[in-house]
A and B are shown apart, each in its own frame.
Chain A
Amino acid sequence: MENNNNIGSGPDKKLKSNPFSAPESYFESFPQRLQQRLQSDETARLAEEKRFLPGLKPRLALVAAATALFIIGYLGFQNLMHQEDPWLTSEEIAGYIDMHHHEFTDYYFLGTLDDDLYEDEYYTDDALYEYDPDIYIEYLYHEDIDIELIIAEY
């Protein structure tokens, strides 16, 4: 018996043999039982989906419609924003002056003309990019605009 107990000294066929057994035909029938379980699991999964999907579909449609509306609205708004004239109109200049007339100086006035100046073919010089009031004065002179009259009016 002592020899049997010494499991470390070489393979003992008796001790190494499997002491467990399984019911008769267990392994022959196992694949079939497994297939049945796979099928019943699949059926249960499909039933769950069927139960869940009808209620989910209208909600998903609602969410999709709301998302589509939001995207269309957002894109339309973006489009409108980009269609705006980047250049200042005379009404905008007047509006700006109206809003800020209490702090208005000729310096500000010249600033509002900035965009118009860039449009003018006559003033294409690089010097325009430097903020030089003399250039604006020259512009007003060239366009025959009386700056004092304008300031007095605003």
Chain B
Amino acid sequence: MQDHTDKELLSLFRNPDQKNYAFNLIVRKYQERLYWHIRKIVIGHEDADDLLQNTFLKAWKGLEKFMGESGIYTWLYRIATNESLSFLNEKKRKFFLPLVDVEKKLSASLESDDYFSGDEIQLKLQKAILKLPEKQRLVFNMRYFDEIKYEDMARVLDTSVGALKASYHHATKKIEKMMKDD
């Protein structure tokens, strides 16, 4: 499959005859990275699958108006992040769960997840990540696993680079401590 640039994909999408084809290319190009991003937030595969579909549905409706001021990936990442956080908040509201119980639930689903292929130390790391506050968890995942630049992260999360660096630093220190203590 030829790798199109975002600009080419957008221009194809704006051509009514090529709209479906272009969207299909966008989905194929970004689905994996978005899936893993969502998956690390919500943990379960079924939830991640639903949220990935919702992300692309929103993208389909909004891509026409997307001006391309940021890359498509940054824009999609932003939608996926918002969808995932809304999902977790909805879960908290629906079941009247305090934050610590959400973390416990996610931790439990991590252990029973058929699609978790990590070893013991990786499970330990994931459990430690789940104990972080929501924002720090996001920042840590995006920086540590996805190696996203702080500048891109700032656009996705609407936060300054300085705040993100501080957030990542705190998250790293906390995780190191949790891993040593356990």
- The contact of B121 among A8, A15, A26, A30, by CB within 8 Å, is A15
Q: Is A54 an interface residue (CB 8 A)?
A: no
> A5-B176, A7-B179, A31-B28 are known contacts; what are 6 more A-B pairs with Cβ within 8 Å?
A19-B119, A19-B123, A20-B39, A21-B115, A22-B45, A35-B20
Interface mask (B10-47 → A, CB under 8 Å = 1, otherwise 0): 00000000001000100110011001100110000100
- Tell me which residues across on chain A come within 8 A of B98, comparing CB atoms: none
Closest to A8 in B: B172
> Given that A15-B122, A19-B126 are contacting pairs, would A31 and B27 also be in contact in the complex, using a CB cutoff of 8 Å?
yes
Chain B residues close to A by CB (< 8 Å): 20, 24, 27-28, 31-32, 35-36, 39-40, 45, 49, 52-53, 56-57, 60, 113, 115-119, 121-123, 125-126, 144-145, 172-173, 175-176, 179-180
Asked if A50 lies at the interface with its beta carbon under 8 angstroms from chain B, I say no
B116 near A20: Cβ-Cβ < 8 Å: yes
Assembly CA distance A41 to B53 (angstroms): 12
A79 within 8 A of B: no
Interface on chain B toward A: helix, strand, loop, or mixed SS? helix
Among candidates B49, B57, B122, B173, residue contacting A19 with C-beta atoms closer than 8 Å: B122
A20-B176 in contact (CB<8A): no
- Which A residues are closer than 8 A to B by beta carbons? 1, 4-8, 14-23, 26-27, 30-31, 33-35, 37-38, 41
